[in-house]
């Protein structure tokens, strides 16, 4: 990234559990977003696993229309996912095909989850949905102590092009209201999994 390619970050939301910044992506009408958040009542492992567990997400995220793992690479653990999500009326639902990779770095006490849009032959475009072709997300989770003790910080960097005809400020409003909403739901789902001791798949355990 050359200097001047990015503008400075602008703080647009400051809540109890997180702050949200954005900055314009040069040469486009889009923004990149950054969320810094902290929770003290769930463990990093729970938060990480709940985020990765596609079956569980269908239960707690009411916006999901479809969420399927299309392909899984057992050696690296990376997965190709087809995700269809409701958008606010009057817009069409959006669909995403993306690859996600995750890494648990025990040495540096970090967990990383990275997703980006890809093409996949088994998921052609569906006229019912608008295909989002530009999408990138990276979450880094840093435990306050260990993976299995309550408390962690996370940093989420995110950009996508939802391909709307709306002006930039409308899209920004959708993301800046949708993203915190999603994170709060994710946190509640992790709490619920913890309280009910739900069997969420453990992505830290190696192997399929």
Q: What is the CATH number of the domain that holds 171?
A: 3.30.530.20
Total structural domains within the chain: 1
Secondary structure of the chain: what % helix, strand, coil (to 5)? 20, 40, 40
Length of the chain in terms of residues written: 208
- The 10s digit of each residue's pLDDT in 7-52 is 799 999 998 889 999 998 888 888 899 999 999 999 999 999 999 9
Measured between alpha carbons, how far is 187 from 49 in angstroms, rounded to an integer?
11
Residue 119 placed within a domain: yes
- Say what the pLDDT of residue 198 is: 61
Provide the mean pLDDT of the chain: 88
- In-domain check, residue 68: yes
Enclosing domain of residue 155: 31-193
Give a yes or no: residue 5 inside a domain: no
| Of 25 and 100, the one with more pLDDT | 100
Q: What is the pLDDT of residue 207?
A: 47
Under DSSP, is residue 31 helix (H, G, I), strand (E, B) or coil? strand
**Interval 172-181 mean pLDDT:** 75
How many other C-beta atoms can be found within 10 angstroms of the C-beta atom of residue 107? 5
């Amino acid at each position: 990234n050359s200097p001047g390619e990015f503008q400075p970050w602008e703080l647009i939301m400051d809540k109890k559990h997180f702050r949200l910044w954005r900055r314009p992506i040069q040469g486009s009408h889009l923004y990149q977003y950054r969320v810094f958040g902290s929770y003290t009542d769930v463990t990093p492992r729970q938060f990480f696993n709940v985020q990765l567990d596609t079956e569980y997400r269908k239960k707690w995220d009411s916006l999901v229309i479809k969420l399927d793992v299309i392909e899984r690479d057992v050696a690296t653990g990376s997965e190709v996912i087809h995700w269809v999500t409701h958008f606010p009326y009057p817009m069409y639902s959006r669909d995403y095909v993306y690859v996600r990779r995750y890494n648990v770095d025990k040495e540096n006490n970090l967990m990383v989850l990275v997703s980006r849009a890809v093409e996949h032959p088994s998921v052609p475009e569906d006229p019912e949905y608008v295909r989002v072709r530009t999408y990138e997300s990276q979450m880094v989770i840093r435990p306050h102590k260990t993976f299995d003790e309550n408390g962690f910080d996370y940093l989420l960097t995110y950009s996508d092009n939802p391909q709307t005809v709306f002006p930039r400020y409308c899209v920004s409003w959708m993301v800046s209201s949708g993203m915190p909403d999603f994170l709060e739901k994710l946190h509640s789902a992790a709490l619920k999994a913890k309280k009910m001791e739900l069997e969420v798949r453990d992505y830290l355990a190696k192997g399929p």
